Amino acid sequence: MKKVFAGIRLRRLREEQRLTQAALARALGLSTTYVNQLEHDQRPLTQTVVDKIREMFGTSIPLDEDAEARLAGELRDALAEIGDGVAQAEIRQLATTMPMLGRAVLNLHRRYRQTLEKSEALAAGLEQRGQSMTALMPHEEVRNFFYDRRNHIAELDEAAEHLFQRHGLSAGNMERDLERVLAEVHGIAIRHHDGADHRRFDRASRVLILPANRSPGQQAFQMATQLAFLSVGARLDELTRAGNFTGPEARALARIGLANYFAGALVLPYSLFLASAEELNYDIDLLGRRFGVGFETVCHRLSTLQRPRSQGVPFFFVRVDRAGNISKRQSATDFHFSRGGGTCPLWNVYEAFANPGRILTQVARMPDDRTYLWVARTVSHRSGGWGAPGKDFAIGLGCDIRHAHRLVYSKGLDLTDPSAATPIGGGCRVCERASCPQRAFPAIGRPLAVDENRSRFEPYAAAGLDTPPAPSYRP
């Protein structure tokens, strides 16, 4: 564990417990001088002290590098948009030593954006049509709900494993087992219909209608989703209420999202799936064949394996379309997905569309010098026959470079040479890279280098960029 200085957090804990330094020192079996040095960041906080605090007070001072990096990334985007030019070292210090203040800054920035959007909506006359832009959209609320929980819902994982064991289900052949459970436990019959393109449950007849053209794994997932509403409906309600959603649409979407999470946890039960992932070095295709599901389902499940003391590789998961829209984004760790609009064209997730069905790998480095291994591949969804519209996406699965050696996809890649990594960013408007040839917009808060006597290869170059002058040619 790296050295962590958390004096402010320790002092806040002491004040919450209404203890003096001497009293806290006695409770922890430490000297008053040592506690004083911890609080003034003259000594790093050790895991031993953290364990003693947890044992004595039933709470903890988190030493979470990923959470700090995630907070730092969000602060970097927020402050870049405002254009205050805060140094990265100061941002990291704020995220490390005063995370509550950092989150307060993010809340203020969120309110600033809402106010700005409202004024823009008023100027455009949108208010006349009854449209409001002052709040998050329902689907954004649900994304943030899962994002804030690092895409891991422990209660549903445990409930799914318990149901899997209680009914003697078999991984990789779930559709028959789930059809049996629905019939025997809930009195529900399954009907496969050629004309159906989605799951539909008829409560009156107790019939679950499923599309006939879906794979066995997709059929199992849809049955498991319906089983979630029937077997853990009360728990879904509790989790939805705890989310403090602002309206009925967000609550309904969250409940469906939680049911889908349960379905993934049932079809790919935590302990069994994690053991297989480690055994197969996180080979997505081999995991899909073993559990009878598709590429996207495996990737999504891999991004949820964060059970305490039984963690998998902390992944980030994205699904994007050809236009660059991110329709799914989940993170078990610190990778910060830009909320300011747009992502990076140098990211291999977009290159995947030019290589359909082929797995691409990329070692990528963010502006803060954190480096990641990304795996990307396209997936297609078709619901009908000839002429019926379909959906094409690129799936991205990434992890911090320190975990890359555990993945089969790291074979043949240079994980140690920083210059071998592709420099990417969270979006042109917030990216700090001064000389990117793919930049689509100027960086917010950075003055442009404008010189009519000199051309540049990179668009919207920032002022102060040290670029050698173009060579002069003489006849």
- The two counts, helices (H) then strands (E), for the chain are 17, 11
User: Do 156 and 92 share a domain, yes or no?
Assistant: no
Give domain status of residue 34, yes or no.
Answer: yes
Residue labelled with tokens 């003693």: 52
Contact between residue 366 and residue 344 where contact means Cβ atoms under 8 Å apart? no
pTM over 0.85: no
Of the ranges 98-107, 366-375, 400-409, the best mean pLDDT one: 400-409
Q: Of the residues 252, 277, 311, which one is the last residue of a structural domain?
A: 311
Residue 346 DSSP one-character state = T
Token digits of residue 307: 């059970």
In terms of DSSP bridges, do strands 360-365 and 422-423 run parallel, antiparallel, or are they unpaired? parallel
Name the band, by pLDDT with cuts 50, 70 and 90, for residue 335: low
Number of structural domains (the chain) is 3
User: Do 95 and 227 share a domain, yes or no?
Assistant: no
User: Do 154 and 298 share a domain, yes or no?
Assistant: yes
User: Do 291 and 166 share a domain, yes or no?
Assistant: yes
| Among 125-139, 194-208, 248-262, 354-368, the least confident range | 125-139
Q: Of the residues 124, 151, 167, which one is the last residue of a structural domain?
A: 124
Average of per-residue pLDDT across 268-290: 97
pLDDT of residue 15: 79
Sign of the CA dihedral 118, 122, 125, 127? positive
Give domain status of residue 408, yes or no.
Answer: no
* Concatenated DSSP letters of 41-76: TSSPPPHHHHHHHHHHHS------HHHHHHHHHHHH
User: Do 223 and 260 share a domain, yes or no?
Assistant: yes
Residue 432 DSSP one-character state = -
The CA–CA distances, whole Å, from 198 to 194, 209, 254, 262 equal 11, 8, 19, 18
pLDDT of residue 126: 46
CATH number at residue 148: 1.10.10.2910
pLDDT of residue 447: 73
Nearest to 3 by CA among 35, 36, 43, 33: 43
Give domain status of residue 354, yes or no.
Answer: no
Contact between residue 459 and residue 437 where contact means Cβ atoms under 8 Å apart? yes
pLDDT in tens, 32-78: 888 888 888 778 777 788 778 777 766 666 555 566 677 777 787 77
E strands, 300-431, in order: 306-307, 310-311, 315-320, 326-331, 360-365, 371-382, 390-400, 422-423
pLDDT of residue 468: 45
User: Do 47 and 144 share a domain, yes or no?
Assistant: no
Contact between residue 367 and residue 425 where contact means Cβ atoms under 8 Å apart? yes
User: Do 102 and 18 share a domain, yes or no?
Assistant: no
- The residue range of the domain holding 298 is 135-311
Element (H, E) at 211: strand 207-211
- N-to-C CA span, the chain: 63
Give domain status of residue 194, yes or no.
Answer: yes
User: Do 250 and 151 share a domain, yes or no?
Assistant: yes
Give domain status of residue 429, yes or no.
Answer: no
Measured N-to-C along each axis, helices 88-97 and 7-16 cross at an angle, to the nearest 10 degrees, of 30
Can you name the residues that pair with 316 across neighbouring β-strands? 331, 398
Share of the chain above pLDDT 70, in %: 82
Token digits of residue 232: 């853990």
pLDDT of residue 82: 67
> What CA–CA distance (Å, rounded) separates 332 from 149?
8
pLDDT over 60 at 115, yes or no? yes
The CA–CA distances, whole Å, from 364 to 147, 408, 443 equal 22, 17, 20
Average pLDDT value over all residues in the chain: 82
Nearest to 4 by CA among 63, 54, 72: 63
Collapsing DSSP to helix, strand or coil, 212 comes out as coil
Give domain status of residue 96, yes or no.
Answer: yes
Average of per-residue pLDDT across 133-150: 79
Nearest to 78 by CA among 64, 66, 95: 95
User: Do 38 and 100 share a domain, yes or no?
Assistant: no
pLDDT of residue 230: 95
Nearest to 217 by CA among 306, 287, 316: 287
Residue labelled with tokens 């049955």: 223
Residues belonging to the chain? 475
User: Do 207 and 275 share a domain, yes or no?
Assistant: yes
Contact between residue 74 and residue 106 where contact means Cβ atoms under 8 Å apart? yes
> Which residue type, as a one-letter code, is found at position 443?
A
Q: Of the residues 311, 346, 370, which one is the last residue of a structural domain?
A: 311
Nearest to 214 by CA among 191, 189, 197: 197
User: Do 140 and 15 share a domain, yes or no?
Assistant: no
Backbone φ and ψ of 110, nearest 5°: -65, -40
User: Do 306 and 186 share a domain, yes or no?
Assistant: yes
Token digits of residue 227: 């089983």
Give domain status of residue 161, yes or no.
Answer: yes
| Among 68-77, 198-207, 260-269, 314-323, the least confident range | 68-77
Token digits of residue 433: 């890279």
> What CA–CA distance (Å, rounded) separates 333 from 254?
21
> What CA–CA distance (Å, rounded) separates 343 from 411?
27
> What CA–CA distance (Å, rounded) separates 429 from 113?
15
Give domain status of residue 169, yes or no.
Answer: yes
> What CA–CA distance (Å, rounded) separates 398 from 312?
13
CATH number at residue 22: 1.10.260.40
